[in-house]
């Protein structure tokens, strides 16, 4: 009974918002199409019910292509995350390594992905590898930066405690620095995950055999007749981004549950 | 000086009394242990240097702390009492003078994991539950899991936090957090317990209660305790001897014996002897 009311209280506002938004959208779409008679009205604000029809019709295609994009992005993301964490650890161990690598890590982020993607594709001549590399490339920087900050967030007394136990350096990392860095690591991962998906889609736009980006581009070329399909691919792309974020958030709840954000009593969150 | 000798004799007598059926030889060994000072400071000075200034935080501190003794370092802020504690803990090295812990250097003592430290703030690791925080030093020592669990359980009981063992530090009050920190410091059964104003962030009521709890814990574990405080009543209530430090430069201005009997009770705080000791210590400050 109590559980039920909590659920209602939590979900009711969301539910009302969604219904309201859908109604508003449908109304705006109808207005653009029939009242103001804007050119290519359905490309601007398409009917939601038409999109739902497209989804039921082409669901399998969208699923298969979306899966291809997502798995490539995921592999690249994992690769970039491992690289980012490794670099952060090395930089935290040695100031020398930090001075040697950090400026280049920053500089690497100045290169526009839109320009880098075709270059990588040109070198690798393999869409799969190119997608993975770009996703990894996007991931590594926010992960390295946030992980490094996390590793450094340890306060002096916490270190002195380890010192008083005559702890070996690797023990200090294992028992203190790594756990202390987990919240930082996760904020880096949460920034990077949706970006990795976007990166993978971007490479697909450059030319690939499969992936959500490919049908996105194709349906854009076909023009207004394929408008609903184009919109569907955009929605799938967004959905993949949100999914990646949610997966990381869920993981964070399990692996770093002590954080202030997750505290249930105290505060009015 | 005379009182010192008397105390000393009493200690030897007590040691012999506990050794009823032991051989005389063993008795002598125990006596030598009692005689050995646990911590010896000889002309210890600490000079902090920056580009423009030099601050003499400690000047020529020479003291002996006996094994099993409860000693307070008392003084106003800036008198170097925390610096002195940190030197004993081998967290910093003195610029002059020598420190010996059980006849060895402070570094050797630290590497032999002889120290339990309680800081001004609890310094609990956020990601560890109460029991895991207490478990930390045992993990560092490589104690076996089954033994660790037993020891953590008895420590939780000792500080009265059995019901909170599965809570995270943020779910505890300040006083409870500091009790966890004490349990953690005791977990490795340290020879020497160093406490840096552990109760200074607490209200007067919790503080007096924790003072009494600390003494009852100490009576069970028998470590040598060095306790930093700026509260005169706290230092008297807890200690065998109070080392009074004065600032600018930080130096030892007097050592006050506390002859109150043990176990100490809250009632003693209102006794004439207690007030006399307070005024004695006040005088020793003004005499500086």
Interstrand relation of B104-105 and B251-257 (parallel, antiparallel or unpaired)? unpaired
Chain B residues close to A182, C-beta within 8 Å: 127
pLDDT tens-place values along chain A, 269 residues long = 555 666 667 788 889 999 999 999 999 999 999 988 888 888 888 999 999 999 999 999 999 999 999 999 999 999 999 999 999 999 999 989 999 988 998 888 888 888 888 888 888 888 889 999 999 999 999 999 999 999 999 999 999 999 999 999 999 999 999 999 999 999 999 999 999 999 999 989 887 888 999 999 999 888 777 889 999 999 999 999 999 999 999 999 999 999 988 887 544 33
Protein fold of B70-91+103-114+190-288: Rossmann fold (3.40.50)
pLDDT averaged over every residue in chain B: 85
What's the average model confidence in pLDDT over B174-178? 90
Delimit the domains of chain B by residue range: 1-34, 70-91+103-114+190-288, 126-189
What pTM does this model have? 0.81
What is the nearest CA distance from A164 to chain B, expressed in angstroms?
6
The CB density around residue A42, as the number of other CB atoms within 10 Å, is 16
- Largest distance between two CA atoms of chain B: 65
Strands (E), B215-271: 224-229, 241-246, 251-257
Using CA atoms, how far residue A264 sits from A121, A268, B171, B175, in Å, is 48, 8, 11, 22
State which residue of chain A sits closest to B133, comparing Cα positions.
Answer: A175
Nearest residue to B155 (alpha-carbon basis) of B127, B135, B126, B175: B135
Interstrand relation of B224-229 and B192-196 (parallel, antiparallel or unpaired)? parallel
pLDDT at B9: 44
Q: Radius of gyration of chain B from Cα atoms?
A: 19
pLDDT at B287: 52
* Mutation target among A161, A177, A252, A265 for the B interface, most CBs of B within 10 A: A161
Q: Which residues pair with B110 in a beta bridge?
A: none
pLDDT at A207: 76
pLDDT at B11: 45
State which residue of chain B sits closest to A165, comparing Cα positions.
Answer: B113
Render pLDDT for B207-263 as a digit per residue (tens, 0 to 9).
Answer: 888 899 899 889 888 899 999 999 999 999 999 999 999 988 888 989 999 999 988
B9/A142: higher pLDDT: A142
Render pLDDT for B11-55 as a digit per residue (tens, 0 to 9).
Answer: 444 444 444 444 444 444 444 444 468 899 999 999 988 888 888
Angle at A77 between CA A73 and CA A82, to 5 degrees: 155
CB contact under 8 A, A161 and B119: yes
- Largest distance between two CA atoms of chain A: 78
pLDDT at A3: 59
* Residues in B 7-66 with any Cβ partner in A closer than 8 A: none
pLDDT at B87: 94
The answer to whether residue B157 scores a pLDDT higher than 70 is yes
The answer to whether residue B5 scores a pLDDT higher than 70 is no
């Amino acid at each position: 009974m109590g559980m039920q009311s909590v659920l209602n209280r939590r979900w009711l506002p969301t539910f009302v918002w969604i219904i309201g938004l859908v109604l508003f959208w449908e109304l705006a779409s109808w207005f653009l199409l029939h009242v103001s008679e804007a050119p290519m009205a359905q490309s601007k604000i398409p009917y939601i019910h038409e999109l739902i029809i497209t989804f039921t019709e082409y669901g399998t295609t969208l699923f298969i292509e979306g899966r291809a994009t997502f798995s490539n992005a995921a592999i690249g993301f994992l690769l970039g995350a491992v690289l980012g964490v490794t670099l952060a650890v090395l930089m935290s161990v040695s100031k020398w390594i930090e001075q040697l690598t950090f400026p280049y890590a920053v500089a690497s982020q100045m290169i526009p992905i839109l320009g880098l993607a075709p270059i990588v594709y040109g070198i690798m001549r393999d869409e799969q590898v190119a997608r993975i590399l770009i996703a990894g490339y996007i991931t590594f920087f926010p992960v390295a930066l946030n992980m490094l900050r996390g590793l450094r967030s340890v306060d002096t007394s916490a270190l002195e405690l380890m010192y008083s136990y005559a702890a070996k350096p690797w023990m200090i990392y294992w028992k203190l620095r790594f756990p202390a860095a987990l919240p930082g690591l996760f904020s880096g991962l949460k920034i990077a995950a949706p970006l990795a998906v976007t990166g993978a889609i971007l490479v697909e736009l450059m030319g690939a055999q499969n992936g959500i980006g490919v049908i996105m581009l194709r349906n854009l070329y076909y023009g207004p007749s394929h408008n609903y399909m184009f919109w569907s691919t955009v929605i799938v792309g967004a959905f993949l981004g949100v999914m990646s974020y949610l997966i990381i958030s869920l993981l964070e709840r399990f692996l770093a549950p002590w954080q202030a954000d997750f505290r249930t009593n105290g505060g009015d969150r | 000086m005379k009182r010192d000798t008397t105390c000393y004799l009493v200690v030897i007598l007590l040691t012999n009394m506990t050794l009823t059926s032991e051989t005389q030889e063993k008795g002598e060994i125990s006596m030598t242990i009692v005689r050995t000072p646990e911590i010896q400071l000889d002309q210890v000075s600490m000079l902090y240097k920056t580009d423009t200034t030099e601050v003499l935080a400690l000047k020529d501190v020479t003291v002996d702390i006996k094994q099993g003794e409860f000693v307070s370092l008392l003084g106003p802020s800036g008198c170097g009492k925390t610096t002195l504690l940190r030197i004993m803990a081998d967290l910093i090295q003195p610029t002059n003078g020598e420190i010996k812990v059980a006849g060895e250097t402070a570094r050797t003592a630290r590497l032999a994991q002889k120290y339990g430290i309680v800081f001004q703030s609890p310094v609990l690791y956020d990601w560890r539950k109460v029991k895991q925080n207490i478990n930390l030093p045992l993990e560092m020592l490589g104690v076996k899991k089954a033994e660790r669990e037993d020891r953590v359980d008895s420590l939780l009981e000792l500080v009265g936090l059995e019901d909170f063992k599965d809570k995270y530090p943020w779910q505890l009050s300040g006083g409870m957090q500091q009790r966890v920190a004490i349990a953690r410091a005791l977990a490795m059964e340290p020879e020497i317990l160093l406490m840096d104003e552990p109760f200074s962030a607490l209200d007067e009521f919790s503080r007096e209660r924790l003072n009494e709890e600390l003494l009852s814990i100490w009576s069970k574990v028998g470590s040598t305790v060095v306790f930093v405080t700026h509260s005169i009543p706290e230092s008297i209530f807890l200690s065998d001897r109070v080392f009074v430090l004065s600032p600018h430069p930080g130096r030892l201005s007097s050592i006050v014996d506390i002859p109150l009997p043990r176990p100490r009770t809250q009632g003693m705080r209102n006794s004439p002897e207690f007030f006399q000791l307070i005024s004695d210590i006040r005088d020793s400050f003004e005499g500086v």
